[in-house]
Structure 1
């Protein structure tokens, strides 16, 4: 049994894998040793990997410190199951690396455009077993928030259905933000296909369903891509 832990800014996701199969996932907004004890008794792990954007892993480390488990804190020094051509690996988000590894788990040897639609939107290109590089763009909520906080008059708008041309300021913001992102995603896919016609597009993250609903290109949705990637990295290091 493997345990992959993805610790974000507002929540922690845990994925338990049995012989490579994801058998249980949990999303926690507060993580303590009592909860770790409860879940570990339910699914006793032999190997654990932790990826954290907050670097606040003491509770997890303390809990597993006395156990006879293989325990990995995922960082830029952790060996990866693919070639990384990023020039500044110490600045590269671990969630991006894990999403790449997860995409390769589902589509080994393929050319992949991996999109993570969260607070920011990341676009990463994988050719065969090589990560070529990627881009970072503001996410859906970040764009709505920026228009409100960086101006004096524009209201805070939430995502929703919209016509292409807004006839009120609220509609104009909603349509402008949402259609702007949809066109951006479609353009990335089209541009990548010019060079790599057989590319597969995989999307994960909190806003993944939004893009799949409105984008014109075919996109494969994998909500637990990062957990699958962490498990693959764990197995690679085991």
Structure 2
């Protein structure tokens, strides 16, 4: 069965999705991005992609296209060589969004080329999936980003610390801090905010509810900046911690954990 490989090349992980025409996104995997200065080899990444296909029962010859959004430029030629060697078919090559596949969304960034491909694809995916006029897309990735979409235009947004990067900064900067689970109720009672009675519990409560409060406050302020009531800005959460934070944050209207993958697949369909 024809399959499209989708790659979200981020600073922390490379997320890989398999999608099929007529069926949509089938499954996703996350592999750690190579450390800075060591992007890996084409053979290494090619074998990783090949193994994922084998796990899913997909023959390499069934991969009709490979589409990527990348914010790690040194990895792009490595992944392109991997695609050519392990999945190469006549006329086929890895295509990057938005350079090789333009997105049907107006980019109003002051310097459009500075927008991360991940943010633009996520905004495009949100616009395609949700009819609300004003959208706020909160992506819990390496950083926590807020992206604003009105009508058919991407307006820009905010970049804030990420959940994991904040936790790691605390852990590496303080000798006696315990392991941080980032799981509500892992060290104490379930439910709403409560006073931590251990260091681990205090950290978990502070990080999770702190980020939930940040989303609530910034969503309200961004809505006002965009000239709409808070309830008229549809807030979509995506990324690894989207579901955990959404459970604590009434401001989040919808969770789409694979929104970027959805955007990549829709971009690929539009370019067929």
TM-score higher than 0.5: yes
Partner Cα distance (2:216, 2:30) in 1: 33
Q: CA deviation at 1:142?
A: 1.4
Gaps of 5+ in 2: 32-43
Asked if residue 229 in structure 1 is aligned to residue 227 in structure 2, the reply is no
Distance 1:178 1:233, change over 3 A: same
Per-residue CA deviations over 1:7-46 (Å, capped at 9, x if unaligned) read 3443431231314x41522416474354377465388344
Which deviations, in whole Å up to 9, do the C-alpha atoms of 1:71-93 show, x marking residues without a partner?
41225575221011112333322
Distance between the aligned counterparts of 2:223 and 2:30, measured in 1? Answer: 38
Matches within 5 A, 1:126-145: 126-145=149-168
When residues 23 and 158 of structure 1 are mapped into structure 2, their CA distance, relative to the original with a 3 A threshold, is closer
SS in 1 for 2:247: helix
1:92 aligns with 2:94: no
RMSD between aligned residues = 2.8
Q: How many residues are paired up?
A: 237
Within the candidate set 23, 26, 46, 1:24 is matched to 26
Q: Provide the C-alpha distance between the structure 2 equivalents of 1:71 and 1:175, rounded to a whole number of angstroms.
A: 43
Return the TM-score normalized by structure 1. Answer: 0.84
Between the two structures, name the one with larger relative contact order (CA 8 Å, sep ≥ 6). Answer: 1
The separation in 2 between residues aligned to 1:92 and 1:127, in whole angstroms, is 17
Q: Do the aligned partners of 2:105 and 2:152 also contact (CA within 8 Å) in 1?
A: yes
Match of 1:154 among 174, 177, 185: 177
Structure 1: runs of 5+ lacking an equivalent: none
Instruction: Rate the CA distance shift 1:28–1:127 in 2: closer, same or farther, 3 A.
Output: closer
Query: Is the 2:106–2:154 Cα contact (8 Å) retained in structure 1?
Result: yes
Report the counterpart of residue 119 of structure 1 in structure 2. Answer: 142
2:36 matched residue in structure 1:
none
How far apart, CA to CA, are the structure 2 residues paired with 1:114 and 1:24? 23
Q: Which residue in the other structure is 2:200 paired with?
A: 170
The answer to whether the 8 Å contact 1:15/1:227 transfers is no
Distance change (3 Å), C-alpha of 1:109 and 1:43? farther
Superposed, which structure 2 residues align to 1:1-238 within 5 Å?
Answer: 1=2, 3=4, 4-8=6-10, 9-19=12-22, 21-27=23-29, 29=31, 31-33=45-47, 34-35=50-51, 38=54, 40-41=58-59, 44-52=62-70, 53=72, 54-55=75-76, 56-57=78-79, 58-69=81-92, 71-75=94-98, 78-108=101-131, 110-160=133-183, 161=185, 163-194=193-224, 195-197=227-229, 198-238=232-272
- Once the two structures are overlaid, the 10-residue window that deviates more, 189-198 or 173-182, is 189-198
Judged with a 3 Å threshold, the aligned counterparts in structure 2 of structure 1 residues 92 and 193 are, in CA distance, closer, same or farther, namely closer
- Residues 60, 86 of structure 2: 8 Å contact kept: no
